[in-house]
């Protein structure tokens, strides 16, 4: 049996704005996230986890930030591509697990909607997607509320 695991990590700094997009859900906030695309750290980490499990590099390999067509792009484009690539390569996405690291905004009230959005994009059941959050106990850049980090794991099984 061919089972593959991949991990992903992403981080984006805060900038001026009034909302953040996390795992495909727009959340009102006192700042926005700065990035070449929509800066969705959750989707970026999950996307990289899938690419990692497939040994297919990272988002930058498939969607170079030097290419202006990706400026401001919605991250569901990247995640959908990773999901389609896994199927094309003969894998089923068993599950994804994503942890968002931030003091604010609070993730709990939005986690179910995020879970649903990720499952929809990846074309898997919602019970195969885990979205959770933690703080960094006011330590480091996330603790100082300078940005948000995300870690993700994906498990793929050869069909």
Whether the Cβ atoms of residue 78 and residue 47 lie closer than 8 Å to each other: yes
pLDDT at 93: 98
pLDDT of residue 137: 95
Mean pLDDT split into 10-residue runs, the chain, 159 residues:
97 98 98 95 98 97 92 95 98 98 97 98 98 97 97 97
Q: What pLDDT does residue 155 have?
A: 98
Count: domains in the chain: 1
CATH number of the domain to which 111 belongs:
3.30.1330.50
The boundaries of the domain holding residue 143 are 3-158
What pLDDT score does 61 carry? 96
Is 0.85 topped by the overall pTM?
Answer: yes
Distances (CA, A) of 125 to 49, 70, 90, 93, 128: 18, 28, 18, 10, 6
CA distances from 87 to 15, 31, 32, 59, 82 (A): 36, 37, 33, 17, 9
Sheet containing strand 91-101, edge to edge, reads 32-33, 3-15, 147-158, 91-101, 129-134
Q: What is the predicted pLDDT for the residue at 127?
A: 98
Give the model's pLDDT for residue 92: 97
Structure tokens at 17: 């704005």
Please state the separation of Cα 121 from the chain's center in Å. Answer: 12
Distance CA(123)–CA(16), nearest Å, equals 34
pLDDT at 90: 98
Q: What is the pLDDT of residue 54?
A: 98
| Backbone CA torsion sign across 24, 158, 59, 5 | positive
> Which pLDDT does position 21 carry in this prediction?
97
Tell me, what's the pLDDT at 62? 96
pLDDT value of position 153 = 98
Q: Which contiguous run of DSSP H or E holds residue 60?
A: helix 59-62
Cα angle 130-120-41, degrees, rounded to a multiple of 5: 55
């Amino acid at each position: 049996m061919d089972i593959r695991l991949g991990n992903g990590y992403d981080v984006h700094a805060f900038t001026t704005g009034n909302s953040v997009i996390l795992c495909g859900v727009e959340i009102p906030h006192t700042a926005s996230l700065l990035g070449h695309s929509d800066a969705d750290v959750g989707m970026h980490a999950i996307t990289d986890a899938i690419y990692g499990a497939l040994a297919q590099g990272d988002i930058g390999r498939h969607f170079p930030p030097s290419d202006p067509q990706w400026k401001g792009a919605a991250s569901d484009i990247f995640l959908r591509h990773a999901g389609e690539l896994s199927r094309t390569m003969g894998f089923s996405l068993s599950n994804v697990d994503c942890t968002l690291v931030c003091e604010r905004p609070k993730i709990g009230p939005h986690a179910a909607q995020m879970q649903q959005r990720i499952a929809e994009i990846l074309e898997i059941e919602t019970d195969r997607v885990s979205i959770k959050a933690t703080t960094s106990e006011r330590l480091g850049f996330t603790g100082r509320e300078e940005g948000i980090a995300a870690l993700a794991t994906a498990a793929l099984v050869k069909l």
